[in-house]
Structure 1
């Protein structure tokens, strides 16, 4: 973005940008500017006056009553302020909805985000004057997929023992808890020196005073852990493998069984597992990323399964063929597969940017994809992006690859196996184990379309279009992929289903052949073979030509639909069934058709022969994930705060930053950046008004990392709303940070949560309630307080690649980041 001194000049030039004598005005007004400044002004004017392809929906975003506003086939929802800006923008720019009009609407004074920014700025100034400290909620870190399991019940019980280390002097201790195969003892001093796996003998002198137990007959144990706290040492012990003492085993078993109601079973591990699993169940259905489970086969990665959620079904919908088969696996051809696998073998980050789109022609859907590196090498970036970005199917992904560990596919519930519970999960059958064994790698595709769109070219050379054939996917699928959806609580009112079926549409006097892409009881999405020129009309009549061949007596001709929106190329339309009386019969048939064919329509892949298979895929994802979920709470006093952060197994710069030790960086500083200030108020104000069905709110965070004069680490944060993202603003932020520091860039996708999925944690809840109802109440209260979850992941590599920084500057930035972390 040009500096503030150039802003008045830009405001002048954008008013005449569409005039024939624009160049004359430009030369006159910029006569005193140097070359780079002229270039920036010209680029900014061009950006502001370019057509905007976004659909505005200001409901729950502004302080005003939003009403429908139709313009060129798009349905916007605007309040009076936004409508006035919109209409003035149309007059100013000859009927074109421009980027300038869009940004002025989003920056209106009644926008909640703008209001909160002003309010927070005023509060900061007030607090600075009055020297008032702000609130400081600390967030808790937990490890994704961590469900500590104990095969035995451990009872809290205190009794005197004597511990005799091998080759050392015996000392007195008391037990902290005890189980069939282990022990934890407390010693009231810390000057103890033990080694892991050191053997000790334990004499149960306290038991011998009350029970018929020989005090002179020791039991062999091995030290597993020593922890010092409050001037005491806590030593964890496990029974030596070769130690066989049936008399002692029988005594401990009877003792725990008889006294556990009185002295209470230690259920700390169950509580931890319950909280972690429940939070993951909040998070996993809200993911927008596509997760592919891959099998390595002859130097190529074959996509076996795709994990689906409520938030990623729209992205996955683009990848169904005309025969309702998933084609997303063809993204990873042999060359790309081998490149990614080789990077993993060299322990290098395996993260790439891939751009995709599809077109429909003569009853066939053709898919195209290209890596950013491939487009740069072939010099086809402008042609590919300018052509692709006009398609509604255009998507850009950050694709990363990681190996899976089959040992983590089965995770027992955090309840000892000998406890009989109705909700007990049994280990996987051989069929499920065999199916999961075919998965070698996990690939995640994070949708970064909003970050890449500003980089896309506007125009292209039509003579180069033929060269895009190099990026078309083969007509036959290399392998069949299956969509698998986890069994979460179903909170959707009306579900869309994938359906590929030929149709014919009429828009005024224009008739086009096309294809149905997906269908619901009252909705439809279609793609026509050729664009419908001119302004799209408000209604469209659809004839389901392929379905009508089978259902000849059903009212499937000229069904009236209302156009909700369309893509810029006028080839893809979202339609809603009108409420006309003539549509009652077609509507009833479509509802009946979906109900009857539900098992055949690829909305959810239910593999009933593999009971528990979805659970295995879920566990593999949690073990190999690289994203970081953020959980937002509302307290009893209605204070909102970021309370928990899930740390993944795969290490990224973002997860490392969150785990920085306090000796390197003040945790209160990081907490204040995420849990206070304008950004946090923007997030929480959106959560307050958002509905669970709303699309996620996406924010780009750029952490600017450096050192001060005392060589102490410094950290600052700049945030960007991806809907109003300006490449110039981002570039300025990054280049300033790289002058003497480095950056970490993070994409955050915030969603409102649904209700807790208690069914998934029923076993842990039942067991915990038997011994510690107060813990159950505490967990339930915590879960009821969760109002939002954000999926976050690093886009540092993508951002530096997108800004086309030199190799030397990027290398310097990575080295500084390594030193800073």
Structure 2
């Protein structure tokens, strides 16, 4: 794209482009620019060199141009271009001799590009306004366009289904051969195969022939009989599985029925397919799909902020037995520990609460859980209440929330209950065992030890911390009668003498840390320039750093130098001075309570670093790694598989394509949640989902992208709150939604006014977005399947890798609607009315499988 300074010389640039890499360039350049100033000559030459630089950018114009887009391959790279773009690309190749920056800019700025058209229309309107020529009648057009400034340049996100890949028992080969199909009434007709496996095939038949699922036929492989003596007189029996119509024919999937006298036909097909794999190509559809989905799963699962707790059922009683942890949720396991380091989840996740959630209507098996701790006589007591339990004690609601929110330990969780089965722990590769011996080994089910451990698991309770400093301040402001404090014991949890252990297992992924971290809780004092030291506790440590949880919000920022002391650890060493240790703040959580610290060690003699190195070396067997290597090897993958087959999360992915960031992929789990259904109402098909209600004012590039640029992979997620006004019975998406992010409100009172206004007339949906920076893709997780794709279609494997490498961020969206309504102290009647309206709306929306 030529800059404004060079537009006057565009004809010169066009004439010089084909000569840029030839010997004629200098001579022609002098002739054409002889009359121009030296400064202009310099600019033209620099622009030509820039345009001629080799380019590797992937171009995808789907949904961006007015034209039919199709795959276009160039030197192993697949672009998606329309006819105008293809002509522009090929013209550029003739000019430059290779794919360059100039071609990329020309192809992405063709005249039929929606963005280019929108810009041209905007410029024209501005010129009309400046010249006073805009008529009053044209005003509605301007307003309609301005309401949805990003819609013209937007394509719906692809919808992927977690664990939605098929497992193939055997290899299929793309193979076209003449066959004869014999129907049960002895009528026959010629057809051709599309693909072939030992136990089935897909055939192409004329539209005039009718076939239905369940129908039985016999097939004669006439093409094979010309080369091989099959010796089968009555044909091979098959049964129709399904029929897929196309424009001029039908594709019919068939499974082979057993035949006693088939004379080794199965062995023949097996050897035939194995011997011709490279000649006719193996069908890679299901493996390609599996690699694609698993790659996205592995971006999301290690970064979930939600804590999945697995409950086993014994004699009708459910109790927590294990949890799936990540870097982002591990602190929640730490939070639910008392002064004895005993976990209180067994007391909190009791049967009554589970039944309360499961009794709700579909897509609403969740509640809001409020918790806080109270210290007395050196003991730590936990209190908790769900939204429904607070409704049962209306006189104690403001007491619980007002008193609890005044404590630093106050938390608000979204609690959801999912069903699971031990059988879901085994997800074999999408490759058949016959592919090779290593696949057969990798496809083995969990070991007997793991199978025995998980055999009673039936439920997964997910806990997501949705607290904010602002929401806590609103609860804290609730007035209550102090005389009722003693009655809060109804929400207290008694200490158990015998607490069943809860095993933690982490999601396995490529660990990019330079060293291992270990879980350990000890007092840490942070020095301030003015005032007393701030008390904190370590959550984990390594020789080079610490993660701290502070008792109160801190004012430190990333990059600050802080001196710390370790009074409890000082008692076990006289060799090292553990006070006044210099650390750098690497990250601070949004609520200012959690900090990641790194040693400042210019001389390589930092006392804290040396002390922790010796502590780790001398006590490695006693310390628990933060990655939490389980006592049961293989438990992590088993729990991961069970969770991915049960989750109801809404995940989205941000890709970087050149300088632009796009929200291109959305994921759905075993069942859709409220946001999936709400957006599906305005989505065009089952394989995509519009995200426009969440992308107001180009949120991807203006907010998500700017935040991701500041973040590093290991940092805690950055969170946003987004509020949607849904206006029922509207025909168009832009008329149905009004979107407000938390940063859109300059005053908190304005947020309260907005929510009151929405609840009075329309429907409120509120969500919390956890945005994480991704690192490199975990190709080890998909290595075997990706290698299989590479063997038979290396261009497809490269396309997959390019897409996964372009992912820079992953978002987790959590429904907080009920909590927001209670947070702003709406009446119980208003909350119930909103819940009923929401349930009625969502019940009327169905998603295609």
Q: Taking structure 2 as the reference length, what is the TM-score of the superposition?
A: 0.72
Matched, 1:807 2:823: no
Q: Deviations over 1:97-143 (max 9, x none)?
A: xxxxxxxxxxxxxxxxxxxxxxxx99997697587983223311111
Residue correspondence of structure 1 range 172-251 to structure 2 within 5 A = 172-189=190-207, 191-214=208-231, 216-241=233-258, 245-251=262-268
Match of 2:298 in 1: 281
Q: Deviations over 1:493-528 (max 9, x none)?
A: 566543245789999997999976544434364778
Per mean C-alpha deviation after superposition, the further-off stretch among 305-314 and 148-157 is 305-314
Match of 1:818 in 2: 843
Q: Contact between 2:507 and 2:640, CA under 8 Å: does it hold in 1? A: yes
Deviation at 1:267, TM superposition (A): 0.9
Separation in 2, partners of 1:573, 1:801: 30
Q: Contact between 1:138 and 1:671, CA under 8 Å: does it hold in 2? A: yes
Residue correspondence of structure 1 range 50-449 to structure 2 within 5 A = 134-167=152-185, 169-189=187-207, 191-214=208-231, 216-241=233-258, 245-297=262-314, 300-341=317-358, 343=359, 349-360=364-375, 363-378=378-393, 379-420=395-436, 422=438, 424-425=441-442, 426-449=444-467
Match of 2:508 in 1: 487
Q: Deviations over 1:173-221 (max 9, x none)?
A: 10000000010001132x4443322211111122112221246431111
Per mean C-alpha deviation after superposition, the further-off stretch among 305-314 and 788-797 is 788-797
The count of residues paired between Structure 1 and Structure 2 equals 691
Equivalent residue of 1:445, what SS?
strand
Change (3 A) 1:509 1:605: closer
Separation in 1, partners of 2:554, 2:810: 42
Separation in 1, partners of 2:594, 2:806: 41
Q: Contact between 1:160 and 1:206, CA under 8 Å: does it hold in 2? A: yes
Q: Contact between 2:281 and 2:792, CA under 8 Å: does it hold in 1? A: yes
Q: Pick from 469, 472, 476 the counterpart of residue 457 of structure 1.
A: 476
Equivalent residue of 2:223, what SS?
helix
Deviation at 1:403, TM superposition (A): 0.8
Separation in 2, partners of 1:506, 1:173: 82
Q: Deviations over 1:140-166 (max 9, x none)?
A: 111111221111110111001122233
Per mean C-alpha deviation after superposition, the further-off stretch among 577-586 and 773-782 is 577-586
Matched, 1:654 2:675: yes
Q: Contact between 2:581 and 2:608, CA under 8 Å: does it hold in 1? A: no
Instruction: Structure 1 unaligned segments of length 5 or more: list them.
Output: 1-120
Residue correspondence of structure 1 range 475-514 to structure 2 within 5 A = 475-476=495-496, 478-493=499-514, 497-501=518-522
Q: Pick from 615, 632, 649 the counterpart of residue 610 of structure 1.
A: 632
Deviation at 1:394, TM superposition (A): 2.5
Q: Contact between 2:708 and 2:808, CA under 8 Å: does it hold in 1? A: yes
Residue correspondence of structure 1 range 734-813 to structure 2 within 5 A = 734=755, 736-737=757-758, 741-802=762-823, 803-804=826-827, 805-813=830-838
Separation in 1, partners of 2:186, 2:766: 54
Equivalent residue of 2:520, what SS?
strand
Separation in 1, partners of 2:772, 2:492: 34
Q: Contact between 1:327 and 1:481, CA under 8 Å: does it hold in 2? A: no
Match of 1:678 in 2: 698
Q: Deviations over 1:347-386 (max 9, x none)?
A: 5722111112235555543333222333343333333333
Q: Deviations over 1:392-412 (max 9, x none)?
A: 432211000011033221011
Q: Taking structure 1 as the reference length, what is the TM-score of the superposition?
A: 0.74
Match of 1:58 in 2: none
Deviation at 1:171, TM superposition (A): 2.2
Matched, 1:621 2:643: yes
Equivalent residue of 1:792, what SS?
strand
Separation in 2, partners of 1:615, 1:800: 38
Separation in 1, partners of 2:729, 2:555: 58
Q: Contact between 1:741 and 1:813, CA under 8 Å: does it hold in 2? A: no
Deviation at 1:302, TM superposition (A): 1.3
Change (3 A) 1:195 1:800: farther
Equivalent residue of 2:299, what SS?
helix
Deviation at 1:283, TM superposition (A): 0.7
Change (3 A) 1:254 1:447: same
Q: Deviations over 1:60-108 (max 9, x none)?
A: xxxxxxxxxxxxxxxxxxxxxxxxxxxxxxxxxxxxxxxxxxxxxxxxx
Equivalent residue of 2:803, what SS?
helix
Change (3 A) 1:123 1:313: farther
Separation in 2, partners of 1:598, 1:187: 67
Per mean C-alpha deviation after superposition, the further-off stretch among 436-445 and 463-472 is 463-472
Separation in 2, partners of 1:209, 1:363: 88
Deviation at 1:766, TM superposition (A): 1.8
**What root-mean-square deviation, in Å, do the aligned CA atoms of Structure 1 and Structure 2 show?**
4.2
Equivalent residue of 1:624, what SS?
coil
Separation in 2, partners of 1:700, 1:760: 33
Separation in 2, partners of 1:644, 1:534: 37
Deviation at 1:767, TM superposition (A): 1.4
Q: Pick from 479, 493, 496 the counterpart of residue 473 of structure 1.
A: 493
Separation in 2, partners of 1:124, 1:731: 38
Equivalent residue of 1:677, what SS?
coil
Q: Contact between 1:324 and 1:602, CA under 8 Å: does it hold in 2? A: no
Separation in 1, partners of 2:274, 2:119: 63
Change (3 A) 1:570 1:709: closer
Deviation at 1:693, TM superposition (A): 2.8
Match of 1:523 in 2: 546
Separation in 2, partners of 1:710, 1:570: 44
Separation in 2, partners of 1:582, 1:639: 42
Match of 2:719 in 1: 698
Equivalent residue of 2:226, what SS?
helix
Q: Contact between 1:632 and 1:787, CA under 8 Å: does it hold in 2? A: yes
Q: Contact between 2:302 and 2:508, CA under 8 Å: does it hold in 1? A: no
Equivalent residue of 2:840, what SS?
helix
Separation in 1, partners of 2:744, 2:697: 20
Separation in 1, partners of 2:249, 2:592: 73
Equivalent residue of 2:772, what SS?
strand
Per mean C-alpha deviation after superposition, the further-off stretch among 719-728 and 177-186 is 719-728
Deviation at 1:713, TM superposition (A): 9.9
